[in-house]
Structure 1
Amino acid sequence: MATTFAKWIILTILSASMRPKILIHAQQVPCFFIFGDSQFDNGNNNALPTFAKANYLPYGIDYPASLPTGRFTNGKNIPDFLAQLLGFPNSIPPFVSRGSSDVLKGLNYASGAAGILDSSGILLGDRFSMNRQLANHAAAIGQIAALLGNPTAADSYLRRCLYVVNMGSNDYINNYYQKPLPSLFSLLTPDAFANLLIETFSRQLRTLYSSGARKVAVFGIGLIGCIPQELSLYPITNGSPCVDAINIAVGLFNNKLVSLINDLNTILPNAQFTYINSTNIALGDPSLTGIKVSNAACCEVQTEGAPAPGQCVPNGSVCGDRDEYIFFDNYHPTQVSYNVTASRSYKTLLPADAFPVGIQRLVQQ
């Protein structure tokens, strides 16, 4: 277990050949819809009353024009790289600042601190939970139906699109294991909490299916017991480089999620759900990549007050070479990490990277 945990700290920096290069393809799907948390958020939290926002430097320091867009990293995030791999000329816009015709190419609903449970992230302030993101998507579908002329045309259109979902981390970080105020859910056993999450997530994914989604890639939760913030909050035991108890609990959820994906594909007609195995994507030797720092943030992090502890200090110092770090702040990876995650989830290097297929094959089916 400790070996696996240590390798997750590399957070998907490995691929078949060092850091992958994004190649531009013809657009493979008509639209791309994104649901998730801060790893996928590209600006939806900017105007919300919340500590979970990244619309200030040094976030975005390596984004075009050094622009802090609301992405919780130094540059691009996973949806940005996936959009490139899928052949989209531009990144998918956030729901809150969409233009009138943007909806036909897709929207990004992701929100920092969001979770499967509506209560997850509540201590940080407002956020678009998975249920609220689904409600926003329902509103977008109404716009699509109006643009295409009728609901039948919209449904046919949506069945050809790609949907990605990255949810669950905040249900652990900012709910089950939250500090300083423990959650009521912490009274549940890890297995019972994972069951609660899966039952709720199952309803949500079925709602997404009912709205017309057929090609859906669902990301598993990473080994969040290895992120710098959790290392600072919880004691390390048995010589492990990570908080084993958190990673074991997350593993329970991921195992149940694989079963859920299989059930949805079996039960729902024409459903094409796939599971992206974030942990397996991470395995490999970090010495091949130039990564030198795997357990600390690149930016100067907040220790208390606003913004949230563990996030970058506004206009604070940053490391000189961001490509040498796994983490940009105490929670979120650097752009180079996200690049590899996107590349390996799109075109799998190993069979265990995705179940049953990677995103490239998913959109071709």
Structure 2
Amino acid sequence: MESHLRKWCLVSMLVLFLNLGFMIKAEPQVPCYFIFGDSLVDNGNNNRLASIARADYFPYGIDLGGPTGRFSNGKTTVDELAVLLGFDNYIPAYSAASGEQILQGVNYASAAAGIREETGQQLGQRITFSGQVQNYRNTVSQVVQILGDENSAADYLSKCIYTIGLGSNDYLNNYFMPQAYSTSTQYTPEQYADDLIRRYFDQLNDLYLYGARKFALVGIGAIGCSPNALAQGSPDGTTCVERINSANRIFNNRLKSLVQQLNNDHPDAKFTYINAYGVFQDIIANPSAYGFRVTNAACCGVGRNGGQLTCLPGQPPCLNRDEYVFWDAFHPTDAANTIIAQRSYTAQSSSDVYPIDISTLAQL
């Protein structure tokens, strides 16, 4: 009898501990996550702007409960990164974040934004890199008010992750748009990359001065492989446009060198480079290994392989979305975004990041 009673007590205690385990929420790996970028990670900041670069209509968000302003059928890379970092919710857009909600981080990204101020101006209003940094400064002032003093705020912010991914529009909606911009006649690809990196450095320095210490700088993807580039510059509609990709690699190499320089200059901070270009090229070269079937066409859009325009309002998208790398003319699907985020968080290969992945950055 005593033996049975002891067993019953042990089983009851085990059940109790299991139930408690389900009730206890794990803390995120970092207290907050701040995001700077363009349409690849915008989650609604452009919804209230007078801009053509908006995604607050169907079929955008079709797999995420409806349109939110994300340029995807579902999650963006930073949404997936927020999940991997242990946050219960996606990081809110600056336009919607308020009160103590900002203590978990803010997404400042804006579609059509660039490193250069004029980039994307033909599409209407957008929040440039410098504008996003200014918005972050406003957030820091709020954090100081909530936490009570500057030292507490500085200590808190130093533990947070900051991802920065800009530069794509400086090529798409500037350098490779000679009908609207003169930069391609003013700069060689090398000179243009140098100019972008100088401006990039200035904004990173401001973020550092306002408390940021853990930086993940995301390189430009293989823009020359997008349905838009293929529709306009590929003779067969499948071969990536090397003229564009070559310029993107020059910028990425400069960005990687900048990471090394910043790590040397700021021993109290940590910078890392995320090789989105390399991961994307791997997906394009080995689609079946990742479950993809279509790499050269968009799930929805207009023109040759959906590459001329983004999805039109109300346009029915493809049904087999997880088999497509690209959602529209420029932006990856939820499935592709998830892979890029996962390899940024936990590097699959030594070339995915430099020098560390985001999971390691979070632990520092």
TM-score by length of 2: 0.89
Measured in 1, the distance between the counterparts of 2:76 and 2:98 equals: 21
Asked if structure 2 preserves the Cα contact closer than 8 Å seen for 1:299 and 1:312, the reply is yes
**Which residue does the alignment assign to 1:9?**
none
Query: How does 1:269-348 map onto structure 2 within 5 Å?
Result: 269-282=267-280, 283=282, 285-301=286-302, 310-348=309-347
**Which residue does the alignment assign to 1:259?**
257
Are residues 1:34 and 2:32 paired?
Answer: no
Corresponding residue to 1:244 among 232, 242, 248: 242
Instruction: Please state whether the residue corresponding to 1:39 is helix, strand or coil.
Output: coil
Percent identity, aligned pairs only, is 45
Asked if structure 2 preserves the Cα contact closer than 8 Å seen for 1:236 and 1:242, the reply is no
Q: Deviations over 1:225-265 (max 9, x none)?
A: 1101112222449x981111111111111111111010000
Instruction: Please state whether the residue corresponding to 1:183 is helix, strand or coil.
Output: coil
Measured in 2, the distance between the counterparts of 1:99 and 1:201 equals: 28
Measured in 2, the distance between the counterparts of 1:328 and 1:148 equals: 41
**Which residue does the alignment assign to 2:198?**
199
Asked if structure 1 preserves the Cα contact closer than 8 Å seen for 2:226 and 2:296, the reply is yes
Q: Deviations over 1:193-227 (max 9, x none)?
A: 11100111111111111111110101000110110
Q: How many residues align?
A: 334
Q: AA paired with 2:279?
A: I
Instruction: Please state whether the residue corresponding to 1:314 is helix, strand or coil.
Output: coil
Report which of the two structures shows the higher radius of gyration computed on alpha carbons. 2
More off after superposition, 226-235 vs 242-251: 226-235
Q: AA paired with 2:297?
A: A
Q: AA paired with 2:75?
A: K
Measured in 2, the distance between the counterparts of 1:289 and 1:129 equals: 34
Q: Deviations over 1:47-73 (max 9, x none)?
A: 10000000000000000x3x1000000
Measured in 2, the distance between the counterparts of 1:363 and 1:25 equals: 15
Q: AA paired with 1:272?
A: K
Query: How does 1:133-144 map onto structure 2 within 5 Å?
Result: 133-144=132-143
Q: Deviations over 1:295-324 (max 9, x none)?
A: 111013379xxxx95210100021011001
Measured in 2, the distance between the counterparts of 1:264 and 1:236 equals: 41
* Deviation for aligned residue 1:281: 2.0
More off after superposition, 126-135 vs 96-105: 96-105
**Which residue does the alignment assign to 1:58?**
59
* Deviation for aligned residue 1:108: 0.2
Measured in 1, the distance between the counterparts of 2:122 and 2:231 equals: 19
Structure 2: segments with no counterpart, 5+ residues: 1-24
Instruction: Please state whether the residue corresponding to 1:230 is helix, strand or coil.
Output: helix
Q: AA paired with 1:279?
A: Y
* Deviation for aligned residue 1:278: 1.0
Measured in 1, the distance between the counterparts of 2:71 and 2:362 equals: 27
Q: AA paired with 2:152?
A: A
Instruction: Please state whether the residue corresponding to 1:42 is helix, strand or coil.
Output: coil
Measured in 1, the distance between the counterparts of 2:113 and 2:106 equals: 17
> Aligned Cα RMSD in Å?
1.8
Q: AA paired with 1:110?
A: A
Measured in 2, the distance between the counterparts of 1:342 and 1:25 equals: 21
* Deviation for aligned residue 1:26: 3.9
Name the structure with the higher helix share: 2
Measured in 1, the distance between the counterparts of 2:52 and 2:291 equals: 33
Corresponding residue to 2:182 among 181, 184, 195: 184
- Distance of aligned partners of 1:328 and 1:68 in 2 relative to their CA distance in 1, 3 Å threshold: same
* Deviation for aligned residue 1:25: 6.2
Measured in 2, the distance between the counterparts of 1:139 and 1:309 equals: 38
More off after superposition, 84-93 vs 239-248: 239-248
Asked if structure 1 preserves the Cα contact closer than 8 Å seen for 2:110 and 2:127, the reply is yes
**Which residue does the alignment assign to 1:225?**
224
Measured in 2, the distance between the counterparts of 1:218 and 1:114 equals: 16
More off after superposition, 160-169 vs 203-212: 203-212
**Which residue does the alignment assign to 1:15?**
none
Measured in 1, the distance between the counterparts of 2:78 and 2:26 equals: 16
Instruction: Please state whether the residue corresponding to 1:46 is helix, strand or coil.
Output: helix
Q: Deviations over 1:160-179 (max 9, x none)?
A: 00000010000000000026
Measured in 1, the distance between the counterparts of 2:129 and 2:107 equals: 12
Instruction: Please state whether the residue corresponding to 2:338 is helix, strand or coil.
Output: helix
Are residues 1:169 and 2:182 paired?
Answer: no
**Which residue does the alignment assign to 1:12?**
none
Q: AA paired with 2:268?
A: N
Q: AA paired with 1:349?
A: Q
**Which residue does the alignment assign to 1:44?**
45
Instruction: Please state whether the residue corresponding to 2:325 is helix, strand or coil.
Output: strand
